[in-house]
Structure 1
Amino acid sequence: MKLNELSDKEGATHSRKRLGRGIGSGSGKTGGRGVKGQKSRSGVAINAFEGGQMPLFRRLPKRGFVNIFAKTFNVISLGRIQQAIDAGRLDASNEINIGTLVASGLLRRPKDGVRVLGDGELTSAVKLNVAGASKSAVEKIEKAGGSITTA
């Protein structure tokens, strides 16, 4: 078999519709759009338009606000850090920060920082450099002989 002999299976490709080629073609006149006027034109966006009636999103009251400066943190527990150390994915002798957590596969992507929670047990003495930590996490890290610095 040669590259020039390769072809799709029968019926895998369809020829494109040629619109607006006369009434006899089956897709003439309105070209499959069904209507004349605004909806038949290209580039029309009538989202949420309700025929002049006040749209639903304008009828409902607005509540609260969204803080555009809010930071989103990755959250990780001490138990998961200990599991990664036991599995050999993290090195307890080196400093653990957001970069090493992403490289080890514990976090998918770095957001605005990491916050450590005190779930699970920590037996290794680790040196953490993170954005924040809960009180119980700080206690467990220091009890295990490690240290933590928060930004």
Structure 2
Amino acid sequence: MTLQLDSLKPNKGARRQKLRKGRGIAAGQGASCGFGMRGQKSRSGRPTRPGFEGGQMPLYRRVPKLKHFPLVNSKSFTVVNVSALNDLKAGSTINLDSLVKSGIVTNPKSPLKVLGNGSLKVKLNVQAAAFTSTARSKIEEAGGTCEVLDLGS
């Protein structure tokens, strides 16, 4: 006998017959079909979506609010405080390259952000990707300027 598409069938016992529900008490799954008497889980259709916890905040929404879950699109900066800029020459233009040459920044991997910790007594023209509001006010109080550079993204 040759193998033909119309002669293919599963082995004996490989496929069980579908259980016929709601066909009387003698059928074994009559009346309520094994779903019990009443309630949400006895109704037709899927009663709740996967992960539903009765209105409580479900686990998949609680977990990312805990510690040690990184932000998805976090921005990273090379940070410098205003107090570190006091040693620089007055009137000079300060950017990431000049800070590396002066030795204030040693390992620049991301754009420069100036933070406002400390005080500034020197007039500087600072070019950075971002400034905090206190850093901006301290630089401008000292007579300097703040120029925001584009991140290039």
- Provide TM-score, normalisation by structure 2: 0.49
Bigger CA radius of gyration:
2
